[in-house]
Amino acid sequence: MIDYNRFIVLMAYQRSGTHMLGNAIASHPRLRYADEIFRNDPPQSLEAAIDVIRQYDHPDIVTCLDIKYNQIAAALPLIEQMRVIHLVRRDDVAHWFSGLWKSYAKRHPDAMQAIERGEYPAIPFDRAGFEKFAARKAAYVAKFSYLEDVRLYYEDLTSNRQIAVLPEQAEIAICNLAGVERWPLSITGKKDAPANYRDYILESV
């Protein structure tokens, strides 16, 4: 049997900042971040979800499972018994751009260097695509909000800049939810969607 007290779930839409937050959570000596456990093979049954999650059950550590909205269905009965952090991005344009930038950067490895030289690639603002994204995201947030024990907003955590530690209020909320002592939750790594390029795109919207 799975001990649900040894898990918390980080629930969000893709590109919401879960890796940043998970990285911070993992800096606590009694917490670990299991990354997006269903990314490559979403479970098709409750039994399959149990098999995956059971691998992360540890007697002395609380594990944070990163589960996106579109991966919840089969594992829902399990998630309903776990404590859930719901991470949301308020700024839909920035959220949409983050995914667009990731896709572009994968196809153009030199894109970041070009931006550092002040050379901006032409990525047009697809309003129809953005509106579809925003509607889908809003529907997911509304559908699964009942699962949340704590809601955190990406913008409140980061103030849209690089940060070294989570704000105190978020630190307290996460540690209390996980049932562990308070600890400074530190962050390594940087956001990969450059703010200056987002501003450049928005000028042409």
* Phi (first) and psi of residue 169, to 5 degrees: -60, -40
Q: Where do the domains of the chain lie, and which CATH numbers do they carry?
A: 4-202 (3.40.50)
Which carries the bigger pLDDT value, residue 100 or residue 142?
142
pLDDT > 90? residue 163:
no
| CB 148 within 8 Å of CB 11 | yes
- Which residue would you say has higher pLDDT here, 186 or 198? 186
User: Band of the pLDDT at 161, cuts 50, 70, 90?
Assistant: confident
- Phi, psi dihedral angles at 10 (to 5 degrees): -105, 105
pLDDT tens readout for residues 126-143: 889 999 999 999 999 999
Angle between helical axes of 92-107 and 127-144 (0-180°, round to 10):
120
Predicted pLDDT of residue 16? 94
What does the pLDDT read at residue 103?
Answer: 85
Render pLDDT for 7-66 as a digit per residue (tens, 0 to 9): 999 999 999 999 999 999 999 999 999 999 999 888 999 999 999 999 999 999 999 999
pTM across the whole model:
0.90
